[in-house]
């Protein structure tokens, strides 16, 4: 799941470079993060299937697993953003 989110985040950033420099807007809170509750409660979310406009899949995790996954995804996006300018161009490429 982390790899998929990293690929999606990278594709999004490559497709919309102007959006990276825009003002940061707060992310909308989802049901898993906005409602305090039991961290072991299972919460299910529908996620879009890459390559399809209509297909969705249902992913179920505990609240603490959702929070961990979102934290790791955010760290991966920040790492890609900070390392993007550090990569030296290859000769002849």
- Cβ atoms of 13 and 20 closer than 8 Å: yes
**Axis crossing angle, helix 2-15 with helix 63-83, rounded to the nearest 10:** 40
Question: What are the distances in angstroms from CA 28 to CA 33, 44, 48, 84?
Answer: 10, 17, 17, 26
Per residue of the chain (93 residues), give pLDDT as tens.
555 555 555 555 555 444 444 444 445 455 444 557 899 999 999 999 999 889 999 999 999 999 999 999 999 999 998 887 776 666 665
pTM of the prediction?
0.50
* Residue 56 CB contacts under 8 Å (≥ 6 apart), including other chains: 46, 47, 48, 49
Q: Which residue has the tokens 């390559």?
A: 51
């Amino acid at each position: 799941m982390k790899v998929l989110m990293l690929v999606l985040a990278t594709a999004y950033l490559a497709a919309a470079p102007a959006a990276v420099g825009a003002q940061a807007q707060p992310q909308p809170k989802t049901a898993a993060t906005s409602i305090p509750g039991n961290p072991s409660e299972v919460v299910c979310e529908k996620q879009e299937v890459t390559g399809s406009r209509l297909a969705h899949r249902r992913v179920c995790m505990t609240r603490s697993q959702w929070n961990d996954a979102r934290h790791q995804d955010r760290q991966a996006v920040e790492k890609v953003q900070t390392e993007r300018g550090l990569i030296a161009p290859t000769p002849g490429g």
